[in-house]
Structure 1
Amino acid sequence: MLDQAETAAGQAPAQAHGQVPDVPAEGQARARHKRDREATRQRLLDAARDLFGEHGYDGVTVRMIAAAADANVALVHRYFGSKAALFATVLEGEYVIQRVIAGEDDPDPLPLRLARHFVRQAHRGPASPVPRMLDRSVGNPEVRDILQDQMERLVIGPLIDQLDGPDARTRATLATTIIMGGGPIRRVVGLDPLRATDPDELTERVAAMFDAALTPYR
């Protein structure tokens, strides 16, 4: 009884002045939970990106990804649904070409925008593990389906939307062949000759290629 009385007495002044215990507000707790959730999701993406690049799609398990991200296996399924969906999410994050095609903050013609992107990619170097992901994974039917969907939805479709005149799909597909062709060449032969060329001259030549690909057939 004495202890309870002393505790109550010690709390009385604070309560009398309208002070409340230092307990996190509900909104703060939700915000912290959201930050933790986003941080965990990003760790899973980063781990998957590295592991898929090193081992390919078939060589990676959900358990490996969770362990590398210091996360529970169940969180992979909660945030992404499946290993295939996680692989697709990693790939989709690499499609900066979407912004190039849309012309965000760049009023120049589409062939020139595409050429600048091509030259930037050529000079970027092999920093991303995504090319290795594709090399080591493309034989898997699930991966082929993912690539087909993303290529149509994120590259060919947006290019078609930018084009007027007949044969838009053919022209968009031809331009996509130029865009994507740099990847295999980089991995098999190397791009040192392109990197040694003056960037402005290289951009001009590649822009002419894109212009020829996208111009309506006569």
Structure 2
Amino acid sequence: MPDARFLVVFDADSTLLRNEVIELIADEAGRGPEVAAATEAAMRGEVDFATSLRSRVRALEGVPVAAFERVRARVEPTPGAAELIDAIHDRGGVATVVSGGFHEVLDVVAPPLGVDIWRANRLAVASEALSGEVGGDIVDAAGKAAALLEWAEAYGVPLRRTIAIGDGANDLQMMAVAGLGLAFNAKPAVRAQADLVVGRVDLREVIPLLP
């Protein structure tokens, strides 16, 4: 990978994207409100993220793989997402995403936004439907921080020139290791611990903060 001037790491759900994707998938199983409540508790830091994710994914068992077309059609980028990523690239930076959500959606929505590299969880499939299990290692708070460190090294970016942007408790570790941790559309616990809080839910607000 060529060296970059700086690195920006986004959370996906409720940060780069307006939606919580797991809730859209849960709607396909008729369990949207139940999963939404569990997601909210996890984002507030009230429960362990990995334990919560496994529980929420179990609620998705039986959702057909074909339903992902409907889910992806409902996903909306956060206002200003494309403009911010364009600005990152114009200034010689790299735009990355690490998500507790799912590759099945990010693999489709990230490229049109210009995201350079992304990492997320995978949903296990059996007989063309979700099995209710997470495939492989879970991307949790520690996994997000590890991704930031890995990508900073790969792109030759010192940590002081890294920015982490997130909304939930599972973003706090990556925000802590970044040179600048930004709370965006964030829960109170995240606002309290961030270096800066972005008030408006418009990612263009971040452009003046780029190196």
TM beyond 0.5: no
More helix by share: 1
Q: If you compute each CA radius of gyration, which structure gives the higher value, 1 or 2?
A: 1
Structure with larger RCO (C-alpha < 8 A, sep 6+): 2
Provide TM-score, normalisation by structure 1.
Answer: 0.28
TM-score, normalising length: structure 2: 0.29
